[in-house]
Structure 1
Amino acid sequence: MRRLVLCGSPRARGRAAALALRVVEAYEQAGDEVGLVLLAEAVIAPCTGCNACKHNAATPLRDDLYCVIADSMARVRRRLNDCDALTVVSPVYFSGAPAQLKAFYDRLQPYYWSKYAKSTKRPADLFVVGEGGDPHGFEPLVSETRSALAVAGFRLERVHDWVGLVHEDGRLDDDRPVLEGGRTAAASDYCNETPSGLHPTYLRGGREAHHG
């Protein structure tokens, strides 16, 4: 299986990057062909909402995933398209994704207008890293990841919670294999969803699912 490991941290040598290297080794030992992308070493500008990708899909003049912004996203996108499975490793920034990862997610918008959004979903998992001092958790990071990856043809299946278990120097406070360590749960455990995989507010118009 061709797997892409994408580290969403702005730091190329922080906790998330250290865990990402362990994850790469673990999946290689499991038999996968693994590639690694560090967003800290990429230049991905934020989406400007220009709608060029939408207009391009309606009148195909370029490739299906055309974007007017010329940066590292084109290279990362090619690797994303070529993989059979995806692993995202990310720190938690105020319960959500850091700016570099959020920019990557937002730049997946061309997939929304293309054939990829309707393709068979490939498996994805998320490894979460943090010092453990935020009492608000990281459910928004899980929701952002699942939503963005869905349009690119992935289904987020598992979340590996390594918050508080990775030291600055890369040491892990868990002796189990990295793919089994931490606190692992189904992605649906973090999200208020229906059996279809969609959030109730999407199905009910956004009001009935809220109380109080």
Structure 2
Amino acid sequence: MPKPPEPPSEGLAPAPADAKAALRRRLLAARRRRPLAGLVADAEAIAGHALAWDAVRRAGTVAAYVSVGSEPGTGLLLDALRGAGHRVLLPVVLADRDLDWAEYTGPGSLAPARLGLLEPTGPLLGVDAVLDADVLLVPGLAVSPAGARLGRGGGSYDRVLGRVAGRPTAVLLHDDEVGLDVPTEPHDRPVTHAITPGAVRTLG
């Protein structure tokens, strides 16, 4: 009879995937407790910092996303980017969790989609359309001082970040979600900056 597996030794650090899942649960719970008024104020401050960031000011095309739930809000930012003359690309989640892209032309160009998301309804431009972006603004739950980003676990943005390596990439977060110890796995891709209600922060 095969010998049963040994139980894990006490004191061993959890595997990165398990540690990430535990951190993800804690951060999502904290986000659910944030008051609405604070979320609105944070969205306004993040939009101001993003628009003033040199990488965005110089950009012709910005790849961004539509926030959901208690994520730092992006609705104000998306319209402000268009108002400042930037072309804005938004993601469309494909069946394999990769991201296609379409242009954002205003709130009326968004429609409910899978996974509780809002996605652009314009023509799909292909997964490599993100290469047209001069700067990327991406979602996340936390980031380390070195730029290790904790996402939702689907891997969509790690694929995107791999395609655009070397370009300015900023994760939008609440102030207390920056500088955490984020476990990493081989497929994880770092970001170069974080934008919070307090500032644009350089990472790495």
TM-score tier, shorter chain, comes to: 0.3 to 0.5
TM-score (norm 2): 0.41
TM-score (norm 1): 0.40
